[in-house]
Amino acid sequence: MRRDMNLVREILMWAENQEHGFVNENPSIEGYSEEEIGYHVHLMHQASLVNAADDTAMGDKSPSALLSGLSWLGHEFLEASKDNTIWSKAKNTVLKTTSGVTFEVLFEWLKAEAKKQLGI
């Protein structure tokens, strides 16, 4: 399964909208299966974007984790990617024009674009 940065962003936005900042379930996001979401929560936990508990069971097709909330880094990435105009530009500039881009490169590009928008 490929990493989907749109899904990463959707999960972060969903988690941020939870009233108390703590959740004990994965979101249901239109167009994505439970397996895709669980796998991405697992990846996001590895990248320190979210707090989560591994819930992979023997016989599962993919690793999975149960989301419990955003980390500091998750909040930071979400703030950098929240603006739909900047995110659209990132998708068309960074994600589309490269065959593969690391998370760090994408995050740095988002921060640089935000600074440009602010005139910094």
Phi/psi for 37 (5° steps) reads -65, -45
Phi-psi region for residue 69, left (φ > 0), alpha (ψ -120 to 50) or beta? Answer: left
Q: Answer yes or no: are the C-beta atoms of 95 and 101 closer than 8 Å.
A: yes
Phi-psi region for residue 20, left (φ > 0), alpha (ψ -120 to 50) or beta? Answer: alpha
Q: pLDDT tens for residues 38-56?
A: 999 999 999 999 999 999 9
DSSP state of 52: E
Q: pLDDT tens for residues 107-120?
A: 999 999 988 888 88
CB-CB neighbours of 45 under 10 Å:
21
Total-model pTM = 0.89
Structural domain boundaries in the chain: 5-70, 83-118
d(CA 92, CA 85): 11
Q: pLDDT tens for residues 59-89?
A: 889 999 999 999 999 999 999 999 999 999 8
Confidence at 99, pLDDT banded by 50, 70, 90: low
User: What's CA 69's distance to the chain center, in Å?
Assistant: 12
